[in-house]
Amino acid sequence: MVRAFIAFPLTLLCLLGSGPLSGRNFLLPWYEDVNGGESYTRLIVSALVISAVIAIAPLWLAISGLQKVVSDDPPWVLALLRAAQVLAVTVIVLRLIATVTALLAGELNDLSVLFQTS
């Protein structure tokens, strides 16, 4: 039951992309200022990939919680865990679709640009 209380709000926060569950917060300290005409595409794509990876945590919590549901648990616990599972998969898929869209729409033509150190 505790996993349901943790997984569902965590999934909602991942869906909203707020706070530390947004991949952008982890990249801003290392991202250089955009004065020389450089675009934000690398930042956006990297942040989306990181937020998709972060969304795996509530998915894992929901799946492991579903495996430990007992017959004594109220039915809303199962519903909350299933909703968290569906929302977490939705978050991951949406983030990856947004990543591909940003890659296709931006100046990045291949993924090797993401890992350049210059």
78-99 residue pLDDT tens: 899 999 999 999 988 888 888 8
Contacts for 34 with CB less than 8 Å, ≥ 6 apart: 40
* Domain ranges within the chain, ordered by starting residue: 2-17+39-115
Amino acid at 100: V
**Chain segment 1-12, per-residue pLDDT in tens:** 788 888 888 888
State the SS3 of the chain: CHHHHHHHHHHHHHHHCCHHHCCHHHHHHHCCCCCCCCCCHHHHHHHHHHHHHHCHHHHHHHHHHHHCCCCCCCHHHHHHHHHHHHHHHHHHHHHHHHHHHHHHHCCCCCHHHHHCCC
Q: What is the pTM of this model?
A: 0.71
Ranges of residues in the chain with a pLDDT under 50 are: 37, 108, 118
